[in-house]
Amino acid sequence: MPYVYLLRCADNSLYTGQAENLEARLARHNMGTASAFTARRRPVRLVYSEALPTPALALARERQLKRWTRAKKEALIAGDLIALKRL
């Protein structure tokens, strides 16, 4: 099943990605082999994930989240639907 996910890096930055196997992808991020961005900011931890029915939808959702502001991503992570709608 495809997933879109948000990682919090050691420097408190956020990384947005999508993967078929979320656990394996997280392990690769923490080994430093998944992304140059996260390789320099390890360790990373998963703070949000969302399962989607198709890889195409996961990619579309990833692109949507990447356009969001940090504040909106933080509201999503916190599950704050009121702030999410306001932002």
pLDDT at 76 over 90: yes
Query: Out of 3.90.1300.10, 3.40.190.10, 3.90.1200.10, 3.40.1440.10, which CATH number does the structure's domain 3-86 have?
Result: 3.40.1440.10
In angstroms, the CA 16 to CA 70 distance is 11
The predicted pLDDT at position 73 comes to 97
- DSSP assignment, residue 68? S
What DSSP string describes 3-48? EEEEEE-TTS-EEEEEESSHHHHHHHHHHT-S-HHHHTT-S-EEEE
pLDDT at 87 over 90: no
Number of Cβ within a 10 Å radius of residue 32: 15
Percent of all residues in the chain with a pLDDT value above 90, rounded to a whole number: 95
- What tens digit of pLDDT does each residue of 40-69 get? 999 999 999 999 999 999 999 999 999 999
Q: What predicted TM-score, i.e. pTM, was given to this entire model?
A: 0.94
Percent of all residues in the chain with a pLDDT value above 70, rounded to a whole number: 100
Instruction: Delimit the domains of the chain by residue range.
Output: 3-86
Amino acid at 32: G
